[in-house]
Structure 1
Amino acid sequence: MAPRCFIVRHGETEWSLNGRHTGTTDLPLTANGEKRIKATGKALVGNDRLVVPKNLVHVYVSPRHRAQRTLELLEIGCRERLPWNAERKAENEEPIRTEASVEITESIREWDYGDYEGLTSKQIKSIRAETGQGPWNIWEDGCPGGESPEDVMHRLDALIADIRGKYQRECFENPDSPKGDVLVVAHGHILRAFAMRWVGKPLTETSFILEAGSVGTLSYEHNNINEPAIMLGGQFVVEE
């Protein structure tokens, strides 16, 4: 099986629940958000599940606490302590299931919404209508005082090249190499953009939805690193 890249949006926060754009503002998960992420971990992480910890080689996580807490709750069982914790959980609390290292990176922080931070789409469109700015589409217009689509593509393209060069190309060049699955834990807009750039599409074609706490799967067609693809339905196979 070709190596995969799992994208996980952080669990529910008060602002995601209300549709407010949450970039630099760091909010905790709601109680329901934590509950749902724990359930997701139990359902999708394991040797006979979608995310197989022993096949993970690296984990990228956003600098925002809500993403880091989401990774904690998934309980993938990293041997190393998580970078933001003083020590690792005892093995009787969280058994070691993966040798993957965890890296905090600005590359997958949420889109910088600038002047639109904390506003809903409805509020943004109302403000633009009142000031004669016309309609708004983040994939085309970006955010005043924040990031443009070109800014976002630049940092995501660099990260995708990093994933392929460091962790996945070898899987195609050397069939005996270990698995090269990668996990990315971040935010709604940036992960939707990440999926589009994974398959080389412009952000203006983005039509994906990634709800809070959900998981997406990216991989390659025909076992070819030059044919990146989005896997519909997750597609997980129980290993022998």
Structure 2
Amino acid sequence: MTTPRVFIARHGETAWSLSGQHTSFTDLPLTANGEKRVAATSRAMVGKDRLIDPRHLLKVYVSPRLRAQRTFELLVGHEQQCGPERVVIDDRVQEWNYGDYEGLKTAQIRALRREKGIETGHEWDIWQDGCENGESPEEITRRLDEVIAEIHELHSQNQTAVRKDVMIVAHGHILRSFAMRWVRRPINENPALLLEAGAIGVLSYEHNNVDEPAILLGGAFIVPDDDENDDDGK
């Protein structure tokens, strides 16, 4: 069995990701620069001789937000080998619901909490405190653990010589949380993980074992097998 991977792709730049405003349900488009950068990432990283081979994508989870869907289109949507039957728009990978903090920067959120007299013994930290009238770390954990269990099952059922990867196209906080839960760590440990707008991270398994999920710190490009058709793709 070729060890499968999970690619976590954050949507491209928006006006609010650029300014540092928390964006969950506000449906902002990508900026022009965001579109250009995702298209450049696709040219460099997606194709049969690249890091991500669309033919080997067993399933793609995409957030319902338009910025994530547009990012998917720019990354792999034009690849005929990744058919629409493999792509699922899934609420479970939408961004952390920021509730009352939607559109605010971290400094503004902390100032608002001080005005309200919310005392926690530390400055606001989403990983520990969650969001007023939004989601808590426990709620995020529950929905992500469902997705992770589903992916583990998919990989367990597809132990073949052909690589069967999964991709998630979503958002910064939810994907950082996903990476922590993938390696079975609580997200309230304040993960020191970064994922730039438009960036792609890679998760996999140690020892080719689906019971040993791991973060893949460096992933090699894929060289097509000799018996794979060469006349299509990038």
**What TM-score results when the alignment is normalised by the length of structure 2?**
0.89
2:62 matches 1:69: no
- Find the residue that maps to 1:162 and give its secondary structure: helix
Structure-2 residue corresponding to 1:86: none
- Find the residue that maps to 1:98 and give its secondary structure: coil
Structure-2 residue corresponding to 1:194: 178
2:53 matches 1:52: yes
Counterpart of 1:169, as a letter, is: S
User: Residue 5 of structure 1 contacts residue 183 of structure 1 at CA under 8 Å; is this kept in 2?
Assistant: yes
- Find the residue that maps to 2:131 and give its secondary structure: coil
Structure-2 residue corresponding to 1:111: 96
Coordinate RMSD, CA, aligned: 1.4
The structure 1 residue matched to 2:105, chosen from 120, 126, 137, is 120
2:116 matches 1:154: no
Structure-2 residue corresponding to 1:82: none
- Find the residue that maps to 2:145 and give its secondary structure: helix
How far apart are residue 179 of structure 1 and its match?
2.6
Structure-2 residue corresponding to 1:143: 131
How far apart are residue 235 of structure 1 and its match?
3.4
What percent of counterpart residues are identical? 57
Q: Which whole-Å CA distance do the structure 2 matches of 1:235 and 1:221 have between them?
A: 15
- Find the residue that maps to 1:3 and give its secondary structure: coil
Question: For 1:9-24, what aligned pairs fall within 5 Å after superposition?
Answer: 9-24=10-25
User: Residue 22 of structure 2 contacts residue 104 of structure 2 at CA under 8 Å; is this kept in 1?
Assistant: yes
- Find the residue that maps to 1:50 and give its secondary structure: coil
User: Residue 216 of structure 1 contacts residue 234 of structure 1 at CA under 8 Å; is this kept in 2?
Assistant: no
How far apart are residue 95 of structure 1 and its match?
5.2
Q: Which whole-Å CA distance do the structure 1 matches of 2:181 and 2:216 have between them?
A: 15
2:198 matches 1:213: yes
CA deviations on 1:154-198 (whole Å, 9 max, x unpaired) are 000001111111x21124xx444x432001000000000001111
User: Residue 144 of structure 2 contacts residue 178 of structure 2 at CA under 8 Å; is this kept in 1?
Assistant: yes
Structure-2 residue corresponding to 1:131: 116
Gaps in structure 2 of 5+ consecutive residues: 226-234
- Find the residue that maps to 1:217 and give its secondary structure: strand
